Structure 1
C-alpha cells in the first residue's frame, strides 16, 4: 500500500516495467477505484508497418516526470504513479505504465487521463520508429 506522504513513484527505466510495483504504489484501503494504463508498442503508425522502436530521453527526464506526477497528484488529490521505459522495445512491450487510485472511479479516470497526456506532451522522451520497409523516423523532436 502506498504511503500518501511519500513522493509518488515516477521513474524512467531501461528495464521492462514492473506493473505490479506501479499498481502497488497507488493502492490503499481508501481507494474504491484503481486504474492502470499500459501504453504498448503497436505494429503500425500512419499507415506504415512498425517493426520496433527505441525511446531516448533527456538526462533530466526522470526529474521532469517526478515533477509532473507530483503536480497532478497534488492538483487532483488522487494517488498517481508512472514509469516510462527507454531503449529498444519490441511490438507488445509496455512503454508507459501509469496508475491512479481514488475513492471513486470518475476522479481516478480524470486524473489518469490528464497525467498520461501531460507525460506525452511535456516529458522530454523521443521515439524512433523502425518500419518494416527499412526506413525509420523520429517522433516528438
Structure 2
C-alpha cells in the first residue's frame, strides 16, 4: 500500500523513525545553520519508573508513514507560528529500549532562543499527542502494558 500525503517536508528539515540508536550530536547538526542564534535540542529517554512502578525497558512501535506525515505537519505548523525558524529535526526510535536510552530527539534552529525554545516545546508536546507511536512499558515485576497516545490539538 502506497500512501501519499499533501504535506511535503522542506528540504532543510530532517525527520526519521529508526531502530538505530539516536545521536544528539548528529541531530543537532541537522538543525544547525549559519543564520541561527540558537539551536534548542530536546531528548527524551527511558526512565527507570512510571508512577512509582519500576520500569526495566520500553518498547516502541509506530505506523511510520502516518507518523512521518504528522512530523511534516508539525514542522509546517512551527513555520507558520514561528516564521524565523531555519531548521526542524524530529527523530523517534522504535524497538525495545533499555533504561537511559534515547527514544526521541527534537531540534530547532532559529535566530532567537525564545522562539527556538517555544517551537521545540510545541514539537515534542504535539508529537506526543498526535503521532501514531505506541510504547509498551516492561516492569520489574514481569508485567507489561501498551500505552497509546491519544489525539489532541496543541496550540502554538
- Could you tell me the TM-score, scaled by structure 1's length? 0.90
In the alignment of these two chains, the number of paired residues is 137
Contact 1:43–1:49 (Cα < 8 Å) also in 2? yes
How far apart are residue 30 of structure 1 and its match? 1.3
Q: Secondary structure at the match of 2:30?
A: helix
Q: Secondary structure at the match of 1:16?
A: coil
Would you say 1:56 and 2:61 are equivalent positions? yes
Farther off after superposition, 96-105 or 13-22: 13-22
2:153 corresponding residue in structure 1: none
CA distance in 2 between partners of 1:112 and 1:23 (Å): 12
1:104 corresponding residue in structure 2: 112
CA distance in 1 between partners of 2:137 and 2:103 (Å): 13
Contact 1:82–1:98 (Cα < 8 Å) also in 2? yes
Following superposition of structure 1 onto structure 2, how do residues 1-141 of structure 1 map, counting pairs within 5 Å? 6-60=11-65, 61-77=67-83, 78=85, 79-140=87-148
Contact 1:55–1:88 (Cα < 8 Å) also in 2? yes
* Per-residue deviation, residues 52-71 of structure 1 (Å, max 9, x unmatched): 01001114222322332233
CA distance in 1 between partners of 2:22 and 2:29 (Å): 13
Q: RMSD across aligned C-alpha pairs, in angstroms? A: 1.5
Q: Secondary structure at the match of 1:51?
A: strand
